[in-house]
Structure 1
């Protein structure tokens, strides 16, 4: 039930601002944000080896979320986390079309050397340019943002208007446990929002909940930072990692 908002080319001072939460089973092992051997700056899913979000010094950024469908994820399909690492390593989306078609449904935002795009494989594989602005990403349709997604997008808007580079307000917004008002109706599927227990931006649950919050900022000079804040199954903050990087503009 991940949630994120991405401000792409939406402010005179900032090329990219990202704020998002990774929600996952607490029993699924993961390594925190780090410089990986493959040159990617990201956390690592230790089960699949891929990642949910990351950047590179070469000017790339990628973020994936699962797209919920009534039948759920099917086992044995290619890894969506591996798709993120492939794209961050420089693979072109059109070379991965066959693999994407075999994956469980996903939404993905990719930025590469000054251009950004949205990718999905539901209901079919599609890639289209990402327009300048603030975009929400959740586990439903990209064009039908959930209320919790709108909350994160509003937090980025307020942060940009405030004019400060301090990311703590964004991390604080990602810690919001107040459920967003949701028009969710089970008979309509996931498009209008998740069930009530997954309605908050931050999900506190002993089995499945928010594992980490991440904020990425890249200014117009290419100076960037990625900050990850981790949480345990009780929702207790367990650590922060910050890595600075530079994109050649």
Structure 2
């Protein structure tokens, strides 16, 4: 994923709300969210190149999602796929903090990343660039290709619009609107992450259209206080146009 906004116990009726965009090279094959045949408890999209995933849920109420950290100097050719970390978090049985500490012990083997994990009771994050593991208090959090809540324009705007959308639940249309925002940030607000000025512009909105790269899918997760989950995912084609949609509904053992 390249933009994740999480509402953790930020709404009285929905303890977990997630709105996220996955940005990836257009040529990299993937399939939309589905229940995996080789891990039947896991609901997630799948990267067909390395076999892992970028975000998913388990029937038991676990949640995990990962973003890359944008810094060309940290590129690690031949490093293992970070998507396997998400899969292992979802299929594990330990609590969120224990899992994140296990990941932190090996994270130097991977290209830089941020990993959000919830066991249904706790939500935490590991940032491989800082080495930190921390549990998150109730609130709204934004994560892109830097550390949590870095004040990039798209992160700040997405958090603001997400907070407004929470107040409109169960009407969820506003969440898709914030994920489809393709307005680039003004040049004087662009971050400097080591890529060219053109790429900083292309990567600055929530919804990305760039040469050979872009937002491949958008996801909305709603878990209510009774443990009922709605997982909606929209897939976009190489022009950023609607291609398909899937919706999964199920009950977890977790309640708010």
TM-score (norm 2): 0.89
Aligned to 2:189: 183
8 Å CA contact retained: 1:206, 1:234: no
Matched, 1:113 2:120: yes
- The one of 213, 236, 244 aligned to 2:241: 236
Query: What is the Cα deviation at residue 98 of structure 1?
Result: 3.5
8 Å CA contact retained: 2:143, 2:150: no
Q: Any idea what SS the aligned residue of 1:165 has?
A: coil
Q: Which runs of 4+ in 1 moved over 6 A?
A: none
Paired with 1:58 and 1:185, the residues of 2 have a C-alpha distance of 38
Q: Any idea what SS the aligned residue of 2:17 has?
A: strand
Question: How big is each residue's C-alpha offset from its partner over 1:145-192, in whole Å with a ceiling of 9 and x where there is no partner?
Answer: 311012221222111122x32322211221111123462353x758xx
Matched, 1:141 2:147: yes
8 Å CA contact retained: 1:26, 1:207: yes
Structure 1 pair 51–185 and aligned structure 2 pair: CA distance change class (3 A): closer
Structure 2 counterparts to residues 1-249 of structure 1, below 5 A: 2-37=2-37, 38=39, 39-90=41-92, 92-123=99-130, 125-162=131-168, 164-181=169-186, 183-184=189-190, 186=192, 195-248=200-253, 249=255
Question: How big is each residue's C-alpha offset from its partner over 1:120-143, in whole Å with a ceiling of 9 and x where there is no partner?
Answer: 2113x3211011100000001224
8 Å CA contact retained: 2:112, 2:129: yes
Paired with 1:158 and 1:126, the residues of 2 have a C-alpha distance of 30
Q: Any idea what SS the aligned residue of 2:33 has?
A: strand
Paired with 2:101 and 2:144, the residues of 1 have a C-alpha distance of 23
- The total of aligned residue pairs comes to 243
Paired with 1:212 and 1:185, the residues of 2 have a C-alpha distance of 24
TM-score (norm 1): 0.91
Structure 1 pair 128–205 and aligned structure 2 pair: CA distance change class (3 A): same
Q: Any idea what SS the aligned residue of 1:96 has?
A: helix
8 Å CA contact retained: 2:153, 2:190: no
**Unpaired stretches in structure 2, ≥5 consecutive residues:** none
Question: How big is each residue's C-alpha offset from its partner over 1:189-210, in whole Å with a ceiling of 9 and x where there is no partner?
Answer: 58xxx71111111112351001
Greater mean deviation of Cα atoms: 92-101 or 21-30: 92-101
- C-alpha RMSD over aligned residues: 1.8
**Unpaired stretches in structure 1, ≥5 consecutive residues:** none
Paired with 2:27 and 2:72, the residues of 1 have a C-alpha distance of 24
Query: What is the Cα deviation at residue 240 of structure 1?
Result: 0.4
Q: Any idea what SS the aligned residue of 2:44 has?
A: strand
Paired with 1:243 and 1:206, the residues of 2 have a C-alpha distance of 32
Query: What is the Cα deviation at residue 109 of structure 1?
Result: 1.0
Paired with 2:137 and 2:129, the residues of 1 have a C-alpha distance of 20
Q: Any idea what SS the aligned residue of 1:21 has?
A: strand
